[in-house]
Structure 1
Amino acid sequence: AVYNGGYSNASKRGICLRISNGGAGQTGLIQAWADAFIQHRVACGEDPFEIAWYLGDTTDSLALLASGAVDFAITYNAAAEQQCIDAGAAKERIYAFRDHFILAGPISNPAHLKGDDDILTMFNKIVTSGNLDVASPPNSEIRPPTRFLSRFDKSATNIKESFLFATIGQIPWAFDCCKWYHQYPRFPREALETASLLSEYTLTDYGTWISATNAVKSRLSIFKMGSDAADDLLLNPAHLLHGTRASLVHADLCDAFAEWVANSTGGQKVVETFSKDGHVLYTKAP
């Protein structure tokens, strides 16, 4: 997608910045950032220009950054981001905003998750109930079997769910016979919709949840949601990585964008006010 800040003549300069991201692009935050930054630069006396968004999860986005296909990647995995910096593919890492993972699942709640369960207890219950339902399938007219939909795509969400399973000593993706573990390598919006249609538990992010259709949300419940606490297992921090192969022609503009994202009156203000249906999707960087 290409954004122009509302200026029809922006195509004269064309694309000057390229950003890769997954979920925040699908919710519209990347467009909100792009339009606001273009308008900011025009107010400073610059001619309008365009910003391109490339759809890609964390793994895809870091690969695009390393190849020079994009100038910036907005990603959600600290270890992978540090590896990108250590490899020389990124020259700076800026805390962009805080998203939050949520565990959603069917309203019937076949795993009997409770509100006061912590996230690891919930994952344990899903594993236990899933195994029991495989051994002795429930009557589908009474309730659906316990199943978990995994993005299974090396995205930050997939990495997080894998970490949570591994923390409780489970690796369901390693067994072909693990019938309750549904591998579905799609982007966040599509994965959540499928989980709702199939009555499956899944890990997603709050931005994707709020942006989902009412039909999707009507079939699911939120059983656990992350907070802003740094030690919360469901906190989903997003960082902006500035590539070392960023456009030399637009180097000054790239530097200005990185600075603007971190500024309380720039990118952070957009984060604080970006909402869907009256709900603010993200919180600003600490």
Structure 2
Amino acid sequence: MAAYNPASHALLHEHRDIVPNVLQTGSKAHGATPAAAKIPDGLYAKAGIAMADASLAPQAVYNGGYTNATEIDIRIANGGAGQSGLIGAWADAFIQYSVNSGSSPFCIAWYLGDTTESLGLIEAGSVDIAVTYNEAAEKQSIDSGASVRREYGFRDHFLLVGPKSNPAGLNSTKDDILAMFNKLVARGNADVVVPPPADVPPTRFLSRYDKSATNIKESELFITIGQVPWGLVYSKWYHQYPRFPLQALNAAAVLDEYTLTDRGTWLSSPASVTSTLQIYKAGGDSDPKDLLLNPGHVLLRANIDAKYKSICERFMDWVISQDGGQKVIREFKKNGQVLYSEAPKAK
């Protein structure tokens, strides 16, 4: 893999929460960018890249505090947990563990991608590990031979959030998540026919509409109640906003819209965003069939270069160990709150 240029480290960290570092063919930065990963055609269309020969630069490169580290040994693709800082916390802790165990210092690169994009990068051989949130897609990656190992990394939780004025009349005490989605549809349709008074926001739902795990989950919830608001002619209250988690939540706050997000994104967002919204329903850990539980799994790509295969396999072992990756999960906080839950212990 390409060597890491320390001069670019601060810049990559500074922009890790914004947009993917997609490089078009002919970009002046293309040749100087460390570990640029090949993007399959159309995979990052929401970033405005649909042509062949585009590449993806790391969103951030972590060295565990060893400034003499120069080579990227592990490439990890992920969306929300990268934006929250968890991938960086895992990376730094694993590098330190490895060096303490006798390894030479090395770097780990994080590439910003939602679940569909991360699995696409795995299939293309552009990254070594993906952290994703959809069981069916993950198992397909294993069945197709693109990935050879899948481990339960942590539990995140979906949240249905929306404006505090609550124009849809959601009842957090009495309504389950399906009842809430029914109300969003009914009130949204009604507000299209007869707009509410000027001082009351209309009921609107912001969808990331980007094939992310969050988009798949909200689509699953709509389909469960027999609704497809994205179908032609699409429902006017259904706002298609294909952005990454932090940006989507910010837009929902600005526009007074309901949206599905996750706890990691919520706790990683500034108070200027979360103070304007209310959590109406949140997933939990007690019921493994909770519709708002958001399991994060770690997948290992097949056919990793021999030079890096061992270190990637060791990362997979470490990430599920109680004294390794799970310890990081237990201690990873934002604003004094733990973002994620440990993976359930195997029975």
1:2 aligns with 2:61: yes
Q: Work out whether residues 66 and 245 of structure 1, in 8 Å CA contact, stay in contact via their aligned partners in 2.
A: no
- Show the 5 A alignment for 1:53-202: 53-116=110-173, 117-141=175-199, 143-202=200-259
1:233 aligns with 2:233: no
Shift of 1:105: 0.2
Q: Deviation per CA, 1:104-144, whole angstroms, max 9, x where unpaired?
A: 00010000001121000000000000000000001122x10
Shift of 1:245: 3.0
Residue 65 of structure 2 aligns to a residue in which SS? coil
Task: Give the equivalent residue in structure 1 for 2:338.
Answer: 280
Task: Give the equivalent residue in structure 2 for 1:41.
Answer: 98
Residue 174 of structure 1 aligns to a residue in which SS? coil
Shift of 1:148: 0.0
1:254 aligns with 2:312: yes
Counterpart of 1:263 (choices 315, 318, 321) is: 321
Distance 1:114 1:48 in 2: 53
Greater fraction of residues in helix: 1
Q: Work out whether residues 15 and 51 of structure 1, in 8 Å CA contact, stay in contact via their aligned partners in 2.
A: yes
Shift of 1:247: 2.9
- Show structure 1 runs of 5+ residues with no match: none
Shift of 1:248: 1.9
Distance 1:130 1:257 in 2: 46
Shift of 1:46: 1.1
Residue 306 of structure 2 aligns to a residue in which SS? coil
Residue 191 of structure 1 aligns to a residue in which SS? helix
Counterpart of 1:242 (choices 300, 310, 313) is: 300
Instruction: For CA contacts below 8 A with separation 6 or more, give which structure has more relative contact order.
Output: 1
Letter of the 2:203 counterpart: T
TM-score (norm 2): 0.81
Distance 2:208 2:234 in 1: 18
Distance 1:135 1:185 in 2: 26
Q: Work out whether residues 72 and 246 of structure 1, in 8 Å CA contact, stay in contact via their aligned partners in 2.
A: no
Distance 2:171 2:88 in 1: 37
Q: Deviation per CA, 1:76-125, whole angstroms, max 9, x where unpaired?
A: 00000011111100001000000000000001000000112100000000
Shift of 1:177: 4.5
Distance 1:177 1:85 in 2: 34
Q: Deviation per CA, 1:166-217, whole angstroms, max 9, x where unpaired?
A: 0000000003341100000000000000000000000000000001010001
Aligned length: 283
Residue 235 of structure 2 aligns to a residue in which SS? coil
Residue 112 of structure 1 aligns to a residue in which SS? coil
Residue 173 of structure 1 aligns to a residue in which SS? coil
- Show the 5 A alignment for 1:188-227: 188-227=245-284
Letter of the 1:162 counterpart: S
- Show structure 2 runs of 5+ residues with no match: 1-59
Distance 1:65 1:73 in 2: 7
Residue 208 of structure 1 aligns to a residue in which SS? helix
